[in-house]
Chain A
Amino acid sequence: MKKIALLIIGGVLALTSCELDRMPETSIKDDSFWKTENDIKLACNYFYVAISGLPMTEDNRSDDSYATTPNSISDGSRITPNSSGDYGAPYERIRWANNILEKAELMNLDPAILCKYKAEAKFFRAWNYFELVKKYGDVPLILKTLDIYSPELKNPRTSKDVVVDTIYADLDYAAMYLTTASSLAKSPSNYGRATETAALALKSRVALYVGTHQKFHNYGTPDKHLQIAVDAANQIMALGYHKLYVSSNSDKSYHDLFHLEGEGVSNRENILVRMYGVDKNNLIASHNFSRNVEQGTISPTRSLVESYLCTDGLPASISPLAQKTETNSLSIFVNKDPRLNATVYKTGDLNWLTSNPTTPFSPTIAQIKTGFACKKYVSQSDWLLQQSFIDRILIRYAEVLLNYAEAKFELNNGAISNEDLDKSINLIRTRAGMPKLTNEFVAANGLDMRNEIRRERRVELALEGFRYEDIIRWKIAEQVLPQAVLGAKYFKDEYAKVTNPTITAEGYFVVQPSSKRKFDPQRDYLYPIPIQEIALTNGAITQNPNW
């Protein structure tokens, strides 16, 4: 008989696993953190790394620039994302601002000191709510820190009117308690922090956005907001501290503004910058924008380049100074607003991005798909180093002046006095080396004042991240975005390496044909709400129309 062994084991065991994360002893507990002024200051410092820096690519959504592949917002092909940083990231900053505001109430510090930091938190809370409103319209308004059980997580979207009023209130508080720009200049160790004028400038930006959005999309009370925009800009202009930057070589002022020459507290045009620094021996924060540009991250389009006036103040289409038929790659630059030279590389420009600074720029569409290369913030030596420490300007005085002129014009039923032009746009024109804009000049040449004010904004702030929002609020995205994206003109001898290019009848490079571009006015003026936000709120958050 063979031996048989049979064993049955049954039972219930209770075990524990070892997956608990222990907090490293070196990290700081939030509860025990908030004690001294320095603590709340370090907390506020976070906002300055969370604001947008370089590379700047915001305008790739618009008709002004193009990267190496199509932009799905610009060409109307985006689909509703599952989740999105456009929606999520601002709420992270907003939570941190709310946390600082709550903790400040519990801190045993001089209220006058606390107000300064509460003002910073409110400034950046306003900044981030504006980011949300521009993209999504109505968004949940959260003004306190939430935990995972908070019923507010299921809040529906708050009307954007209410959100905008909150933005104004936060900015009013910020303007009241933030340091003034002039006192900051006297104690430059705080240079880089938000100031009273930053709050006012942001307020004018928000109000102009909301006012013109309401006006051209036909709802609300546009005049109320336009008046706020005028008043906020006026306050800054009346303070007299900020002025347009003038370089030691005044012909290069506009160029130098975006380079190391224009950096620092002595440049009174800059109102808020994203700081980088210091140099390769003292590396704190850097970007690599010059390499980004070489690799085609943001290349100006023909549409932008063509918007520059001739030096007589007339559009190229009617100016006798323009070379109407381009005979080589330089033709489009002839007799143009000097800002074009400071914004776009042209054939022969030195300091092109190669190892030798004397190598001139020559036409290419290999990486720079439009054939036009961005010059703002770009430097050959940074390209070589693969590190750049140039600060990115986020708010500058020229924008305040442009906000003022546009808000005045729209508020006043499409009219602006020469006096108002002189204290705003004409300061910018003069610095740029362009003739003044006057009502008489506009009338004499059959121009349209609104077009000229908008053109001035487009040119002065080119590639700095304003254009997409401008065409949205002016409700012209439906006209400009479906157009083909065009580049430089193709000249066989200058583009020796290019074979069989796709070009228009005029010979312009077709970067993206109009057949691949569309804009649905019923849908595309707002971003789609990420699917997850709807699913996680059981539908309390609703989708934007037609998405």
Chain B
Amino acid sequence: MRLLGSGVLPLDDQRTKYVVQSMLESPEKSWETVETSNIGADVALFNNKLTFSGDYYIKRNIDMLVPIQRPSTIGIGLPRYNFGELKTWGWEVNLKWTDKKGDFNYWVGVNVSDSQNKLVKYEGKTSLGPGVNSFIEGQPINTIWGYKTDGLFQSDQEYKDYGVFQSNQTGAGDVKYLDLNGDMKINSGDGTLANHGDLVKIGDTAPRYTYGIDLGCKWKGFDFSTFIQGVGKRDFVVRDIALMPLKESWRMPNRIHLDYWTPENPGAFWPRPYRGGGHNYLPSDKWVQNGAYIRLKNIQLGYTIPASIVKRIKAERVRVYVSGQDLWEKTDVFEIFDPETKENKDFIYPFYRVVSFGVNVSF
């Protein structure tokens, strides 16, 4: 498939068309082959009061479509080729208890799952750079690479004494990066798995140990239910543009930046404000977020009015309820970011909590 892009230009002030091939053809491109093996168990005990199901799987995506890398001399955009092989494995457990004591019905359900992956084959390519690297052979998809940091420089002299070149702007109040390979500068070496200079793998963006807890009960006319959701481990990267206070300030509230470095505030979290201060916001352990969270996704309390009263208004059933969405969570992510945010997003629709009241009437 050869794709030609086109556009217009003014030649002698006349609207004139141009065409250009922007992406290489890939006639050998074909479907991916996915092989899945899984083993599972379903168990019910105590008169079906306790149910359990478990599943373990291994998935091999043998000719995965992956973006490929070639030296720039190829001079054209490249489509995806079937050159990758991805192994994914994981498990899932569901446990539920349902019981009844007189008028009181209740249930508790828990599910936990985990998934890991590894790019087994990728043409032997292991090149990487600061930030999220989608494809590195031998690594999970989307690993995060960044520099290690050690607080902020307290004075220009401290940076000078450090002796490691970071940038021309670096001085008091700036982030100190660690020179792990001792070459007196902060860099990514050859940019490969074999030599990645001062970069270290900080984590990866795939959520691990996702869980949900579902509980509820009914008693006489009352009903109550709630659902809690969370992720046990996840790292995510916030783009520098969503962090730098003086870059595109409309992207973020001022209040998170108030704790910035000054000689009088040496223990500040944020580096000194600096116009064009990109040197403080390189991908690093300082900015990678621990995306683990637990969140109250839903909670609801309802009351069904007794039929004897309802009959008078000729209805069959009337239920009033109050319910809340996303009312509470606990996470270490910066307060302005939703822990469920996807990678490298900054202009997403604002997160909101919902409380609703309602009446269900059926005739």
Query: Which A residues are within 8 Å of any B CB, using their own CB?
Result: 2-17, 19-21, 23, 27-31, 33, 39, 42-43, 45-46, 48-49, 68-70, 72, 75-77, 79-80, 82-83, 87-88, 91-96, 98-99, 140, 142, 145-148, 150, 152-155, 188-193, 265, 275-278, 282, 284-285, 516-517, 530-537, 541
Contact = CB atoms under 8 A, between A and B. Distances in A.
Contacts of B169: 70, 77, 516
Contact of B40 (A9, A80, A140, A155): A9
B1 A23 contact: yes
A155 B71 CA distance: 10
Nearest to B77: A92
B168 A49 contact: no
A140 B39 CA distance: 53
Nearest to B192: A535
Contacts of A276: 10
Contacts of B187: 79-80
Interface in B39-54: 39-48
Contacts of B68: 148
A21 B79 contact: yes
Contacts of B12: 188-192, 265
Q: Which 9 A-B pairs have the closest CB atoms?
A: A95-B75, A30-B2, A77-B168, A45-B18, A277-B10, A69-B276, A88-B72, A191-B12, A531-B191
B73 interface: yes
B18 A48 contact: yes
Contacts of B190: 531, 534-535
27 contacts: A3-B48, A8-B40, A9-B40, A10-B38, A11-B37, A12-B36, A16-B34, A17-B31, A45-B17, A49-B9, A76-B168, A79-B187, A82-B129, A82-B130, A82-B188, A93-B75, A95-B75, A146-B74, A148-B78, A189-B14, A190-B11, A192-B11, A265-B12, A282-B15, A285-B8, A531-B127, A536-B71
Contacts of B24: 147-148
B262 to A, nearest CB: 17
Contacts of B18: 42-43, 45-46, 48-49
B15 A96 contact: no
Contacts of A145: 75
B75 A68 contact: no
B25 interface: yes
B201 to A, nearest CB: 16
Nearest to A42: B19
A359 to B, nearest CB: 27
Contact of B45 (A4, A75, A541): A4
A531 B24 CA distance: 24
B34 A536 contact: no
B172 to A, nearest CB: 14
Given A4-B43, A15-B34, A45-B9, A28 B127 contact: no
Contact of A13 (B9, B10, B36): B36
B70 A45 contact: no
A282 B8 CA distance: 12
A92 B75 contact: yes
A372 B80 CA distance: 49
B113 to A, nearest CB: 17
B305 interface: no
B41 A6 contact: yes
B249 interface: no
A68 B275 contact: yes
Nearest to B129: A82
B81 A148 contact: yes
Given A82-B191, A532-B127, A29 B1 contact: yes
Given A148-B24, A265-B12, 4 more contacts: A27-B4, A30-B21, A142-B73, A146-B74
Interface of B: 1-4, 6-21, 24-25, 29-48, 65, 68-76, 78-81, 125, 127, 129-130, 167-169, 185-188, 190-192, 275-276
Contacts of B9: 45, 48-49, 275, 284-285
B81 A77 contact: no
Contacts of A45: 9, 11, 16-19
Contacts of B188: 82, 531
B2 A148 contact: no
Interface centre among A17, A152, A282 (most CB of B within 10 A): A17
A531 B145 CA distance: 16
A88 B24 CA distance: 16
Interface centre among B20, B188, B190 (most CB of A within 10 A): B20
Contacts of B129: 82-83, 531-532
Given A11-B37, A20-B31, A148-B68, A535 B13 contact: no
A188 B75 CA distance: 33
A532 B168 contact: no
Contacts of B25: 30
A10 B13 CA distance: 69
Contact of A142 (B21, B37, B75, B80): B75
A377 B34 CA distance: 58
A79 B185 contact: yes
A146 B73 contact: yes
B11 A191 contact: yes
B4 A2 contact: no
Contacts of A11: 37-38
Contact of B36 (A15, A49, A189): A15
B76 A28 contact: no
B75 to A, nearest CB: 3
A189 B16 CA distance: 10
B21 A96 contact: yes
Contacts of B43: 4-6
Contact of A28 (B8, B19, B75): B19
A77 B186 CA distance: 12
A27 B167 CA distance: 46
Contacts of B75: 91-96, 98, 142, 145-146
Contact of A535 (B29, B31, B191): B191
A388 B78 CA distance: 35
A12 B8 contact: no
A310 B238 CA distance: 54
Contact of B71 (A9, A31, A79, A153): A153
A116 to B, nearest CB: 15
A69 B192 contact: no
A4 B127 CA distance: 53
Nearest to B4: A28
Contacts of A142: 73, 75
A461 B127 CA distance: 42
B122 to A, nearest CB: 13
Nearest to B15: A284
A154 B70 CA distance: 9
Contacts of A19: 32, 65, 80
A276 B24 CA distance: 29
Contacts of A517: 168
A7 B74 contact: no
Contact of B32 (A17, A79, A531): A17
A6 B20 contact: no
A285 B13 CA distance: 10
A39 B18 CA distance: 9
A10 B21 contact: no
B54 to A, nearest CB: 10
A8 B41 contact: yes
A153 B74 contact: yes
Nearest to A541: B71
Contacts of B167: 77, 79
A33 B76 contact: no
A532 B79 contact: no
B55 to A, nearest CB: 9
A72 B168 contact: yes
A29 B3 CA distance: 6
Given A16-B31, A42-B18, A153 B73 contact: yes
Contacts of B38: 9-11
Contact of B33 (A16, A95, A155, A541): A16
Contacts of A12: 35-37
A95 B76 CA distance: 7
